[in-house]
Amino acid sequence: MVSKAFGEVLRELRLERGLSQERLALEMGLHRTYVSQLERGVKSPTLRTIWRLSRFLGIDPSQLVRLVEAKHQTLRLAQGEAGLAEE
């Protein structure tokens, strides 16, 4: 679920900056399908990728991690609430 949280945060930051996946990938020297996989939570980024993405997006790596932590908590709570609703 952490990969999903990272992906959602990455997508939100990318869209806030008016970037397409293709543009982000091109500027970062990444493949567009890799950016898509990150955003969908299919792939997990390396520490180096987290560092590079955060710098490119104009935030500190620690801030990116904090955003992912908050998103992860939100997803966990939502999943827990959904699980309770099904009972």
DSSP string for 4-42: HHHHHHHHHHHHHTT--HHHHHHHHT--HHHHHHHHHTS
Rounded mean pLDDT, 38-57: 96
- pLDDT at residue number 47: 96
Judge whether residue 64 has pLDDT over 90: yes
Mean confidence (pLDDT) of the chain: 92
Identify the pLDDT of residue 80: 82
| Confidence check: pLDDT of 60 > 90 | yes
Note the pLDDT of residue 1: 86
8/29 Cα distance (integer angstroms):
21
CATH of the domain at 16: 1.10.260.40
Average pLDDT over residues 60-83: 90
Give the pLDDT score at 85: 47
Tokens matching residue 49: 């990728």
Tally of structural domains, the chain? 1
Domain with 24 in it: 2-86
